[in-house]
């Protein structure tokens, strides 16, 4: 356990502030401070974070900043960017920032046997990626029958799927992509069956995204697509039309993929932080190299802000500390993300992995149980769709749900009125969560419409909203590659800051391993005639029932 008197005092101060009756009263803070919106807003150029609609006040922010200082955030940040081992359970650095750094940035990553020149290695692989993208787009690189590619099919799962899938949506949905991008992640055979009929095998470039080239779901899908393409075009198509995002050169070669179509990355790149690496190749193929490079540049701009801005003006730090206030001080265990932009429809799913796989931990760095609640449950959908599904709970449920609203001021379509309607809804939802509606206001509304008094008394309580429900608003000029890069890096650094304060390893993911191991044992037992192994009674019964329903008992 951490033995740090200033840290303990900071946690105690935070708890004391949260215990005050006004700790959750956001409306009262606006009434008492006419300048609250300005004082609780921070910006990086056009990217603005307004956290004034949280209940964080000056005292709470001072306590949160003291907590960050006592937790050693400044030293942790230096170790992170210095390439030190910040993932101790795997003995690894977390140097994904080098993937978006300038070639001469000199970022290095500590390895068990030495040090990697991370910036230089990333730049070399990036040059190889750029050349590949150029050849595909120009038609210099074609399929086995001589036709140019019109589709890139990415086969991956987890970080090898969520990041590129999200980024392709964000950067191509409002325009014409260079290549159509399709993503195959679910090992369920229905997924590829539903996709195959719309793919032209002669014009489809396939990328298998697996660092080890052994991920069960990914390789099962890869072999299915390989058999489909070979059956349509012959074995020669595999070398011509498959690429790999992997470091297992032997396995990739055995699969039939040419060395010049293989792009790798190092162990200091975690899966959920890998969209900046060759895992982002489908983004560059679909959206174009300029858009992908802009995304890298945006991520680097947020890195520089995180490194240099004082904590009281630092967007990732402020977003993280506001979350600490909600989770640890006010005991709010969920986080909703509402992007009022169809192009960011996959952003909540991306953040689910980024946040919950990183900080969904119950063991501290010293091996003891954590002393404070950690990661919330993250969920979300695009606005305005969400207003017609789960927002009922967010407005009137028994526990407040903090919300992050995200939107662009400028849309990339020719329907300005639709965009104004969209943003009016975003602003109104945030205001409604803050203001609420009293029973007296509900009664007055109904009375003004001529409702009978007995009906008013019966219905008004159901039409009242408590208000004082927290939210942040993140606004930017327009959604392009540069802005997307800043947004992704903003949340990456938020996660790292919270992990530092909670004293956990934000860069491992041992919680996903046990299920994989057990699945490997159950798989052969599902074959016809196989015996069930040693499991709990429920699992054994379900294996038998599964085989009985298939007529294989």
pLDDT > 70: percent of the chain: 99
With 90 as the cut, is the pLDDT of residue 113 above it? no
Mean pLDDT of 30-50: 97
Catalytic residue selected from 135, 368, 455, 516:
516
Give the 3-state secondary structure of residue 412: coil
Catalytic residue selected from 217, 355, 357, 492:
357
Q: Which CATH superfamily is domain 5-31+38-70+294-341+360-435+470-508 in?
A: Glucose-6-phosphate isomerase like protein; domain 1 (3.40.50.10490)
* Catalytic annotation present for 357: yes
Given 3.40.50.10490, 3.40.190.170, 2.40.160.20, 3.20.20.70, which CATH number is that of 123-287? Answer: 3.40.50.10490
CATH number of 513-549: 1.10.1390
* Catalytic annotation present for 388: yes
Q: What tens digit of pLDDT does each residue of 131-149 get?
A: 999 999 999 999 999 999 9
1 band by pLDDT with thresholds 50, 70 and 90: very low
Of 140, 10, 147, 157, which is closest to residue 69 (Cα–Cα)? 10
Q: What tens digit of pLDDT does each residue of 371-415 get?
A: 999 999 999 999 999 999 999 999 999 999 999 999 999 999 999
C-alpha span between 222 and 513 (Å, rounded): 21
Label residue 4 left, alpha or beta by phi (over 0 means left) and psi (-120 to 50 means alpha): beta
Residue spans of the domains in the chain: they are 5-31+38-70+294-341+360-435+470-508, 123-287, 513-549
Q: What is the DSSP string of 417-461?
A: HHHHHHHHHHHHHHHHHHH-B-HHHHHHHHHHTT--HHHHHHHGG
Confidence (pLDDT) at 109: 97
Catalytic residue selected from 190, 197, 388, 462:
388
**Mean pLDDT across the chain:** 96
Mean pLDDT of 77-81: 98
Q: What tens digit of pLDDT does each residue of 276-320 get?
A: 999 999 999 999 999 999 999 999 999 999 999 999 999 999 999
* Catalytic annotation present for 437: no
**Cis preceding linkage at 482, omega within 30:** no
Q: What tens digit of pLDDT does each residue of 164-175 get?
A: 999 999 999 989
Give the 3-state secondary structure of residue 491: helix
User: Are the CB atoms for 317 and 361 separated by under 8 Å?
Assistant: no
Same fold for the pair 5-31+38-70+294-341+360-435+470-508 and 123-287: yes
Mean pLDDT of 342-366: 98
- pTM of this prediction exceeds 0.85: yes
């Amino acid at each position: 356990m951490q033995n740090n008197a200033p840290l303990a005092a900071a946690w105690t101060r935070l708890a004391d502030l949260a215990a005050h009756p006004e700790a959750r009263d956001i409306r009262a803070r606006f009434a008492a401070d006419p300048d609250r919106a300005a004082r609780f807003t921070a910006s990086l150029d056009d990217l603005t974070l307004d956290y004034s609609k949280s209940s964080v006040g000056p005292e709470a922010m001072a306590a949160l900043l003291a907590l960050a200082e006592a937790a050693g955030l400044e030293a942790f940040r230096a170790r992170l960017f210095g390439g030190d081992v910040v993932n101790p359970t795997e003995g690894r650095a977390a140097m994904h920032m080098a993937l978006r750094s300038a070639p001469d940035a000199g970022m290095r990553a500590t390895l068990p046997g030495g040090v990697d020149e991370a910036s230089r290695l990333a730049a070399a692989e990036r040059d190889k990626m750029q050349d590949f993208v150029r050849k595909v787009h120009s038609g210099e690189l074609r399929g086995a029958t001589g036709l140019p590619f019109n589709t890139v099919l990415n086969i991956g799962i987890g970080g090898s799927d969520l990041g590129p899938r999200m980024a392709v949506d964000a950067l191509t949905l409002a325009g014409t992509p260079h290549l159509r991008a399709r993503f195959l992640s679910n090992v369920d055979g229905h997924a590829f069956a539903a996709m195959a009929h719309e793919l032209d095998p002669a014009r489809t470039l396939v990328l298998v995204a697996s660092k080890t080239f052994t991920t069960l779901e990914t390789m099962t899908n890869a072999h299915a697509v390989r058999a489909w393409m070979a059956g349509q075009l012959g074995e020669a198509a595999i070398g011509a039309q498959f690429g790999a995002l992997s470091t297992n050169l032997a396995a990739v070669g055995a699969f039939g993929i040419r060395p010049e179509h293989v792009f790798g990355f190092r162990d200091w790149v975690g899966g959920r932080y890998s969209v900046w690496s060759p895992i982002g190749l489908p983004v560059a193929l679909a959206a174009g190299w300029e858009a992908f490079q802009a995304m890298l540049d945006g991520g680097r701009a947020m890195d520089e802000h995180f490194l240099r801005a004082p904590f009281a003006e630092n967007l990732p730090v402020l977003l993280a500390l506001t979350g600490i206030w909600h989770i640890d001080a006010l005991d709010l265990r969920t986080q909703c993300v509402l992007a009022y932009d169809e192009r960011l429809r996959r952003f909540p799913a991306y953040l689910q992995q980024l946040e919950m796989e990183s900080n969904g931990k119950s063991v501290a760095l010293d091996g003891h149980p954590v002393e404070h609640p950690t990661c919330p449950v993250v969920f979300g959908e695009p606005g305005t769709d969400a207003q017609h599904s789960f927002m009922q709970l967010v407005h009137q449920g028994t526990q407040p749900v903090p919300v992050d609203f995200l939107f662009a001021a400028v849309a990339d379509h020719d329907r300005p009125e639709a965009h104004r309607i969209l943003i009016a809804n975003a602003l109104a939802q945030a205001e409604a969560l803050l203001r609420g509606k009293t029973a007296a206001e509900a009664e007055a509304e109904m009375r003004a419409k001529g409702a009978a008094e007995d009906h008013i008394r019966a219905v008004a309580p159901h039409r009242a909203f408590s208000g004082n429900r927290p939210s942040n608003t993140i606004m930017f000029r327009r959604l392009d590659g540069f802005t997307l890069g800043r947004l992704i890096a903003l949340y990456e650094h938020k996660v790292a800051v919270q992990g530092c304060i909670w004293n956990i390893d934000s860069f491992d993911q041992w919680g996903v391993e046990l299920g994989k191991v057990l699945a490997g044992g159950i798989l052969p037992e599902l074959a016809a005639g196989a015996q069930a192994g040693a499991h709990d009674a429920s699992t054994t019964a379900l294996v038998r029932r599964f085989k009985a329903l298939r007529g294989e008992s």
